[in-house]
Chain A
Amino acid sequence: MSRNTSKNLRILAIETSCDETAVSLVDFTKVRNFAKIRNHTIRVIKNLVSSQIPIHQKYGGVVPEVAARSHVPEIVSLLSRVVKTPLRPPYQGGQKLPPDKGEFERASAARTGFGFDAIAVTRGPGLATALRVGIEASRVLAFLSKKPIVGVNHLEGHLASAWLNATNRKHWKFPLLALIVSGGHTELVLMKNFCDYKIVGQTRDDAAGEAFDKSAKLMGLPYPGGPQIAKLAKDGDRNAFDLPRPMLKDPSLDFSFSGLKTAVRNEWLKLFPSVIPAEAGIHPMDPRVSVRLRPRMTINDFAASIQQAIIDVLIEKTMRAAKQFTVNGILLVGGVSANEELRRQMAERIKKELTDVAFLPSDKKYVTDNAAMIAAAGYWRLMKGERHDWKKMDVDPEWNV
């Protein structure tokens, strides 16, 4: 095709590890020296996430959030927007391809057929039934297109989400430390090199995002609670309530948030002795709750205090790990990293205490589960020479990085 074809490697990525079904097409420039990170350019062509697109309507009404994990109709719909269906198979008898060229060149030549050069798919960790949908779809595509396929770890995908940002790539110098914070994960990962990681700290019970959501639920706020708390916290005093900072004094780099949940519950009962709004099914701002019981500032202060308790623990442990392993940069990735206060305060602390350390948060559009990040992690793996045999590929629900 065009000159562009041979310069780029176009990866089709599929992610179905939990609630989201996501498909993406990303172009990576082929570089001679992979370690020369400045030379890399990345262009995200398509980045589709099912929850952001009203696919459900096609299938008769809105599917409840969790039922949506029957990812099958969604993946078909998303893939049909991204993958070109060739009129004839790309490899037919008469087609001539120079045998000395590598598989990517051959793949590029056949792009007219499918619109991608390689496949990256999430193999785990996650829910087996959900993961399997993505795996099966990718196996079929690998078989039909004869393109190389590689299985990717979902957490490595989150790490790679920071690499999608060009400024971050400029400051990308190993070793790096990553804080992955989302509804299902809270992990500190030491990155010694591409594809060489170690989990140095993680939550022992609830994830940070879960602490946000469940605290919000106790306050009677609608789902998802994280953004709601962040919104209320803007006008609140973060020192108004004395909430615990679990495990802060503990020498390990692990986190724990379930004790905070219990403390939030107890403090709330002191504020509103008669009612836990979540259990009564009413919001504290509901007119049925007497005015005396709902001073707005109290709610804002309470939200700000909860947010600060979570942020304090996350930042403290991250700083401790960064010093312990003398890293060159700190990645902040995952859904909770969308929290402005967390970003601001972490940037501040790093600037103050670790002057030579770069702060590398991923772009907000890539913080929640998406497939562009899976493409980036898949690119690392493919460049390292990793391939999977589509015939033998399977899910790995309990996979660690």
Chain B
Amino acid sequence: MITEKNKKTFILKKLEDWNQVIKFMIPKLKPGMIIALSGPLGAGKTTFVQHLAKALGVKSTPRSPTFSLLRTYKVRAIHELPLRRLLHVDAYRIEHDHDLMPLNLEEELAEPGTIMALEWPENVKKWLTRQPNKKIFLKISIDKKGNRFISYSVIPAKAGI
């Protein structure tokens, strides 16, 4: 169920503007949460994760996980959030949900203080729907002038979580 309270749109004119999205999102982040990032190639999904990682106090700069499928980053306690790990998952090369099995994502996500940023969630729709976790959807689109439109929506956790 999506209420109006759980929706918001951002317009970004340059890459630094990602910080307004991050600022808005940071207080809402909780362990076990999945941030689903959709948008065409070159939209800036990995760039968003780089900004997020920086804000969370990750030492290294996340690189594209397309080839490796999964990268894990340690989150330093420079903020009030109870977060310890950032998982960066890329389903770009995944064709079927069962291809995710070897990654043990459920177990990884269950580790204390873990949040996941997931690129190309449309490739693993079934898997994502099955997860009871709270989800944030960021849909990125670009117009011809290079302006980015980010639509933010939240799907609350299913009962029992």
Contact = CB atoms under 8 A, between A and B. Distances in A.
Nearest to B92: A214
Given A70-B102, A258-B46, A184 B41 contact: no
A398 B40 CA distance: 28
Interface stretch (B27-35, B63-71, B75-83, B126-134): B63-71
A258 B102 contact: no
B104 A129 contact: yes
Nearest to B65: A184
Nearest to A265: B42
A165 interface: no
A261 B47 contact: no
Interface in A219-272: 258, 261-262, 264-266, 269
A126 B67 CA distance: 9
Nearest to A215: B41
Contacts of B101: 70
A205 interface: yes
B41 A218 contact: yes
A127 interface: yes
A210 interface: yes
Nearest to B15: A259
A205 B63 CA distance: 4
B66 A210 contact: yes
Given A204-B61, A205-B47, A67 B42 contact: no
Contact of A204 (B63, B98, B99, B146): B63
A265 B40 contact: yes
A65 interface: yes
A287 B157 CA distance: 47
Q: Which 5 residue pairs of A and B lie closest in terms of their CB atoms, listed nearest first?
A: A184-B67, A262-B42, A261-B42, A265-B42, A66-B99
Interface of A: 18, 64-67, 69-70, 125-127, 129-130, 182-184, 203-207, 209-210, 214, 217-218, 258, 261-262, 264-266, 269, 276, 278-279, 397-398
23 contacts: A18-B68, A64-B96, A66-B93, A66-B99, A67-B98, A67-B102, A127-B70, A129-B102, A182-B67, A183-B66, A184-B67, A204-B63, A205-B63, A206-B46, A206-B63, A207-B64, A218-B42, A258-B42, A261-B41, A262-B44, A265-B41, A266-B146, A269-B144
Given A64-B99, A70-B102, A206-B64, 9 more contacts: A64-B96, A67-B96, A67-B102, A129-B104, A130-B102, A209-B67, A265-B40, A266-B146, A278-B41
